Amino acid sequence: MKDLFDSSAFFTRDFCGDWSGGLAFAHQAAHGLTAISYFAIPIWILLIYRSRHRDIPANWMMLLFFTFILSCGVGHLCNVAVFYWPAYRLFTLIDWVVAAASVTTVVLFPRFMREAAAYPSWTLFAKKVKQLEEALAEAGAAKAKAEAAERRLGEMIDERNQQIAEQSALIRELRHGMKNLEGPIVNQREIILALQSKLEEIRKIGRSD
């Protein structure tokens, strides 16, 4: 383990070759920026995994991508560190970790693709959601029509009950008038005319139905 961090037997990268003219800076800057990007991407993957891992098919692949990308970032960082600390034993071990993560990702990726292909596409999912929304809208419109028809039926029933009550009242008056026909002829004629008028009102109510 002690030899893993011992760099005394090696030279720094800039000791070998001509790294003048800003080449060393350009090389380190390229690897440094790549490493920063590789460190940032796993953070977003981890945030997505923590919040949506139950909704993502084969979410274990996200953790594998996390490990693969993070190890690649460490590998690029080693390419910068070797200019100042030539710990090639440690860096070789890191390269093997990167290689193991890369090979594992390549081997398991076809399995991930098969599992992902079994899930409906986002286009199909959006289409199903739109169809569901349209069905709900139609159901809401049908419910509104049914409620309006129910209110109209209630109004018609109330109107009919009112007509029946008016007819019943007129019939009672008609019966009462018929009982009074036993009086004088003049009074009987007035009662008959009144009864005819009431009877005509009853007929009008019946025709209005």
Cα radius of gyration (the chain): 47
Question: Are 113 and 134 within one domain?
Answer: no
Q: Look at residue 97 in the predicted model and tell me its pLDDT.
A: 92
Residues 87 and 150 in one domain: no
User: Which pLDDT does position 185 carry in this prediction?
Assistant: 44
Q: How many CB atoms lie within 10 A of CB 63?
A: 14
- With b for 16 or more beta-carbon neighbours within 10 A and e for fewer, the 98-119 pattern comes to beebeeebeeeeeebeeeeeee
Domain extent for 62: 3-119
- Do 97 and 10 lie in one domain? The reply is yes
pLDDT in the model for residue 163: 78
Same domain, yes or no, for 101 and 139? no
- The tens place of each residue's pLDDT in the chain, 209 residues long, gives 677 777 878 888 888 888 887 899 999 999 999 999 999 998 888 888 777 767 666 677 888 888 999 999 999 999 999 999 999 999 999 999 999 999 999 998 888 888 777 777 778 778 888 999 999 999 999 999 999 999 999 888 888 888 788 777 777 776 666 565 554 444 555 666 666 676 666 666 555 55
Q: What's this model's pTM, rounded to 2 decimal places? A: 0.55
Supply the pLDDT for residue 186: 45
Q: How far apart, in whole angstroms, are the C-alpha atoms of residue 59 and residue 46?
A: 11
| Residue 115 sits in the same domain as residue 129 | no
Residues 100 and 10 in one domain: yes
Whether residues 181 and 86 share a domain: the answer is: no
Whether 192 and 109 map to the same domain: the answer is no
Q: How many domains does the chain fold into?
A: 2
pLDDT (0 to 100) of residue 160: 82
